[in-house]
Amino acid sequence: MRKKLNCIASTLVLFCIFSFLTGASLIKAQGKDKKSREPLTSEQKKFVKSFLSKYDPDKLTKKDAETIKKAFKDKGMGGPSLKAAVREAGFSWDKIRELATRGEKRGRGKREGG
């Protein structure tokens, strides 16, 4: 009987640790997602426009795209509002993202058509 109780207690402890770790990572992921979905402030929009003015949308390189993505990430910007601000500045966020990640291995295998 005592061995059975020890086994149940050990299982319960492991379950609690797993639940805690899983919950903490979910909370962290939700916080990041929430921040990237907040509308950009007028200052952030000005930053996007000013930062992108250094580049020609038709002549972006992989290095340019990586620099652009990092700059916006470092400022905590993301989501649909960033995509809209980039578009308003005359650029395509999808093109920037694609250029920045070109040549990287994907964990889910190759994408079709690319």
Task: Tell me the domain boundaries of the chain.
Answer: 1-37, 38-103
pLDDT in tens, the chain (114 residues): 777 767 676 776 666 566 666 655 544 554 554 556 789 999 999 999 999 999 999 999 999 999 999 999 999 999 999 999 999 999 999 999 999 998 776 555 444 444
Q: Is the dihedral of CA 62, 71, 97, 110 positive or negative?
A: positive
User: What is the four-CA torsion angle of 81, 82, 86, 87, rounded to 10 degrees?
Assistant: -30
The pTM assigned to this predicted structure is 0.61
Distance between CA atoms of residues 111 and 58, nearest Å: 24
For residue 15, with 0-12 CB atoms within 10 Å meaning exposed, 13-18 middle and 19 or more buried, which class applies?
A: exposed
Written as six digits, the tokens of 8 are 């149940």
